[in-house]
Amino acid sequence: MRKKRETLKDGTKVLIRDLHYEYLDKLMKFYRSLPVEDRVYLKVDVTKRKVVEQRMKLNEEGTFFRILALHDDEIIGDGMFEIFKEEWRKHQGELRVIVARPFQRKGLGMLMFRELHSLAMKKDVDKIVVKMMKPQKGAINICKKLGFHKETVIPNYVWDQADEPQDLVIMTCKPKDLWRELEHSYSDSDWQRCR
Ligand SMILES: CC(C)(COP(=O)(O)OP(=O)(O)OC[C@H]1O[C@@H](n2cnc3c(N)ncnc32)[C@H](O)[C@@H]1OP(=O)(O)O)[C@@H](O)C(=O)NCCC(=O)NCCS
């Protein structure tokens, strides 16, 4: 079991750890507390326990990796990295991160990207893909900051949780290039001093 203590930009202490089944109740509490604006653009309806439970089972397949960020034993961030199983895409992995509103813009998203990125490196993934709906500005900006390239925008390709059509934005990067960016952000930030 991996566990790591980290300090956010404002001094908040967090624990980053693997997701385990015993966290299901806390995970539901976290998802249900997300504001609609953050939840509506997610791939699945995370307020449904059955949906969340089914996705937790994917962890057992060895191609789906989940991490959590906890503060005072409550979940404040959720991250996942999925390596595609199909032959033609098995060199690619998709990364997703969600951070609770009160903890956004404190560097937690970056920390979780870094953890999932190091997993991608270990698994010899050649390309990291992030898929977002156009209104997910925070996600698009964090990816831009880390040097992801915008590959394409497919108009009205997906529906959000309110059944509204949305443009799908696909961004990618090579894990080796992302590593350079992460190293750079860490050595340049004030945050380095309080870690
Ligand atoms: C995307 C998300 C995970 C970012 O998490 P975070 O903890 O706020 O990110 P960080 O604090 O590490 O931000 C790193 C950088 O990304 C950019 N960024 C992050 N959120 C931003 C926002 N809302 N607007 C503009 N830039 C933003 C900034 O450049 C920021 O650096 P700065 O704060 O020093 O300016 C968070 O906004 C979120 O959970 N959104 C809702 C769910 C979602 O869209 N998930 C993405 C699915 S892949």
Cβ atoms 108, 100 nearer than 8 A = no
Nearest to 169 by CA among 186, 188, 149: 149
Range of the domain at 181: 3-194
Instruction: Answer whether 0.85 is exceeded by the pTM.
Output: yes
CB 115 within 8 A of CB 16: yes
* Residues with C-beta less than 6 Å from any ligand 1 atom: 38, 41, 96-99, 104-110, 130, 132, 136-139, 141-142, 145
Give me the tens of pLDDT residue by residue for the chain, a chain 195 residues long: 589 999 999 999 999 999 999 999 999 999 999 999 999 999 999 999 999 999 998 887 788 999 999 999 999 999 999 999 999 999 999 999 999 999 999 999 999 999 999 889 889 899 999 999 999 999 999 999 988 999 999 999 999 999 999 999 999 999 888 777 677 666 554 444 334
How many structural domains is the chain composed of? Answer: 1
Q: Measured in whole angstroms, how far is the alpha carbon of residue 121 from the centre of its chain?
A: 16
If you measure from the C-alpha of residue 149 to the centroid of ligand 1, how many angstroms do you get, rounded to a whole number? 17
CATH number of the domain that 63 lies in? 3.40.630.30
Question: How far away, in angstroms, is 77 Cα from ligand 1 center?
Answer: 12
Q: Where are the beta strands (DSSP E) in 55-161?
A: 64-71, 74-83, 92-99, 127-133, 149-159
Alpha carbon nearest to ligand 1 atom 32, residue: 105
Cβ-based neighbour number of residue 171 at 10 Å: 22
